Amino acid sequence: MDYIILDLEWNQSSTGEEEVCKVLPFEIIEIGAIKLNDLREKTDEFNELIKPQVYHELHNITRKLIHIRMEQLEGGKPFIEVMENFRKWWGEDYIFCTWGPLDLVELQRNIRYYGLEPIDIAPFKFLDVQKLFSIACEDKKSRKSLEYAIDFMNIEKDIPFHRALSDAYYTAKILQRLDKQVLQNYSFDVFHIPASKKDEIGVIFDTCYQDPYFKYISRGFDDKIKAMCDKTVTATNCFLCNKNLRKKIKWFSPNNKHYYSVSYCDKHGYMKAKIRIRKSEEGLTYVVKTEKFISEDDVKNIQEKQEYSKKHRKEKRAAKSQNHRKKI
């Protein structure tokens, strides 16, 4: 299997008023990629400038960040031609690797805009090297810049940053230095969410770098209410012994975007479940649920969060009722 370390540069509207901004907020103007073999040895590279078809004026931020002129881009190839060459180059047996998840999202938006064959019609695995760096070297939660990680690992900065190939080159350098165990903490690209219940994703992650946890990605629902009424979405089974657990803290939401619950397993202890409500590219609602085991102190913190949430909702209802009476 090859590792395809991908980086993109893109341009955007200077006004944000064009109708096309809704479907293509960022137009890719450069693709850079490094190919590593299964031993993470460099075997090839890919780099192409793309002739703009949508935004014909460089946004000020783009121009300052990547130091490129529109005249250079006009000499590039059309996106459709570049993508055809890029697909042939990355081959059949591969996994994408990126610094953060955004490059794959924008690549697929550009593919969709031009009516090209999608990379996949379902979620697919990729390596978020930014996340892997945090897991291996930091606090597992923070997301640092590429240059920060290069400095942290004492990697020589022998070419400038902020061009597609150079940023792919530095991302590859970091990937090469990470322990192979940490690469088991792969991510899922969800530009295309699971099409049906049988396609939903449920994975247990268990490596030496993190405590075991479970991740579930649902199919799409018409709205949040229907999603939260689905038994699979709200189920809290122990992901280690598959026992159906009784909830000690029932599902609650402090912000209408995240939901929390705590259940108890006689064998493995307290298990926290967290649901994130998200919108797909097609406008459907789907959820990402994670489950992990926590301490009694963590349980108390969640209880306090629940009490605060109840108090806040009560105060909000009282204020709304008072305003209504004033109007009457």
- At residue 243, the pLDDT reads 95
Whole-angstrom CA distances from 34 to 28, 86, 161, 256 are 18, 11, 15, 41
User: How far, in Å, CA of 266 to CA of 61, rounded?
Assistant: 55
Task: Using DSSP bridges, classify how beta strands 210-217 and 285-294 pair: parallel, antiparallel or unpaired.
Answer: antiparallel
Fold of 2-184: Nucleotidyltransferase; domain 5 (3.30.420)
Cβ-in-10-Å burial (0-12, 13-18, 19+) of 66 comes to buried
- At residue 177, the pLDDT reads 98
- pLDDT above 90 covers a percentage of the chain that reads 84
Please report, for the chain, the start and end positions of each structural domain, with discontinuous segments joined by +. Answer: 2-184, 196-314
- At residue 92, the pLDDT reads 95
Query: Can you give the chain as a three-state secondary structure string?
Result: CEEEEEEEEEECCCCCCCHHHHCCCCEEEEEEEEEECCCCCEEEEEEEEECCCCCCCCCHHHHHHHCCCHHHHHCCECHHHHHHHHHHHHCCCEEEEECCCHHHHHHHHHHHHCCCCCCCCCCEEEEEHHHHHHHHHCCCCCCCCHHHHHHHCCCCCCCCCCCHHHHHHHHHHHHHHCCHHHHHCCEEECCCCCCCHHHCEEEEEEECCEEEEEEEECCCECCHHHHHCCHHHHCCECCCCCCECEEEEEEECCCCCEEEEEEEECCCEEEEEEEEEEECCCCCEEEEEEEEEECHHHHHHHHHHHHHHHHHHHHHHHHHHHHHHHHC
Beta bridge partners of 216: 202, 289
Residue 6: both structure tokens together: 């991908």
pLDDT, mean over the chain:
94
| Between residues 129 and 209, the one the model is more confident about | 129
Nearest to 181 by CA among 157, 161, 201, 206: 206
Which strands make up the sheet holding 258-265, listed edge to edge? 201-207, 210-217, 285-294, 269-279, 258-265, 246-252
Average pLDDT over residues 153-170: 95
pLDDT in tens, 195-224: 999 999 999 999 888 899 999 999 999 999
pLDDT in tens, 243-300: 999 999 999 998 888 999 999 999 999 999 999 999 999 999 999 999 999 999 999 9
pLDDT in tens, 5-46: 999 999 999 888 889 999 999 999 999 999 999 999 999 999
Instruction: Name the CA radius of gyration of the chain, rounded.
Output: 23
User: How far, in Å, CA of 85 to CA of 46, rounded?
Assistant: 9
pLDDT in tens, 65-75: 888 888 999 99
Let me know: does 7 contact 168? Beta carbons within 8 Å: yes
Residue type, 324: H
Whole-angstrom CA distances from 186 to 100, 133, 237 are 12, 12, 23
